[in-house]
A and B are shown apart, each in its own frame.
Chain A
Amino acid sequence: NAGVTQTPKFRILKIGQSMTLQCAQDMNHNYMYWYRQDPGMGLKLIYYSVGAGITDKGEVPNGYNVSRSTTEDFPLRLELAAPSQTSVYFCASTGVPGELFFGEGSRLTVL
């Protein structure tokens, strides 16, 4: 059972570079989410999607973009990386009856 798969697990970026964090789920879930977690802080919602072709902003969307072309995949793109984007990023998904499942996380450092 793969569940929610995130790649890469670790990445170091230079300021101004761009990259895409990949997220895939094999549970046929309609709802998918991207969160960031900073040390000692709670989870902050970046973007979410309620189905293919539909995305919406969360609490902290600036500096990020998403797309949802298929039910399975929900990539998060970082444009012009900044040190403030150093964080651990989690992808999650849910369907019926509403249990939320998380990936293992992607640890990003921007230098």
Chain B
Amino acid sequence: KQEVTQIPAALSVPEGENLVLNCSFTDSAIYNLQWFRQDPGKGLTSLLLIQSSQREQTSGRLNASLDKSSGRSTLYIAASQPGDSATYLCAVRLNTGNQFYFGTGTSLTVIP
């Protein structure tokens, strides 16, 4: 079974700082990896999707990388803002089966 781990569980940074969130997975035979944002009391919003053949994806101040061989993905947030405060989750889909495997998320607080 695929295990997905996100460390740290919580992170607090001052506004303007660049930061990296980590996502590790145990089975490298992945179909894709997706990063989500969840605000309190809300649903999950898709941020970036990386296909198995890709190394990274970028959207605005966000950049996600994928290293299948080491079982790792990182989400880089540039010039953090208070509005970035949320929980960030990663999810992995394997080449076989139809399920997604989620990490438990990193709760990010950006201090003004």
Contacts and interface: CB of A to CB of B under 8 A. Distances in A.
B66 interface: no
Contacts of B104: 41-42
A98 interface: yes
Interface in B68-112: 89, 91, 93, 98-100, 102-105
Given A98-B51, A100-B46, A104-B42, A43 B102 contact: yes
Contacts of B31: 98
A73 to B, nearest CB: 18
Counting contact residues on chain B (CB < 8 A from A), the size range is 20 to 34
A68 to B, nearest CB: 13
Interface of A: 31, 33, 41-43, 45, 48, 50, 58, 90, 92, 97-105
A58 B99 contact: yes
B43 A90 contact: yes
The 3 A-B pairs of least Cβ separation, nearest first, read A42-B104, A102-B44, A104-B43
Interface of B: 31-32, 34, 36, 42-46, 49, 51, 89, 91, 93, 98-100, 102-105
Nearest to A88: B41
A24 to B, nearest CB: 15
Contacts of A98: 31-32, 49, 51, 93
Contacts of A90: 43-44
A86 B42 CA distance: 16
A42 B46 CA distance: 16
A100 B43 contact: no
A97 B46 CA distance: 14
Contacts of A50: 98
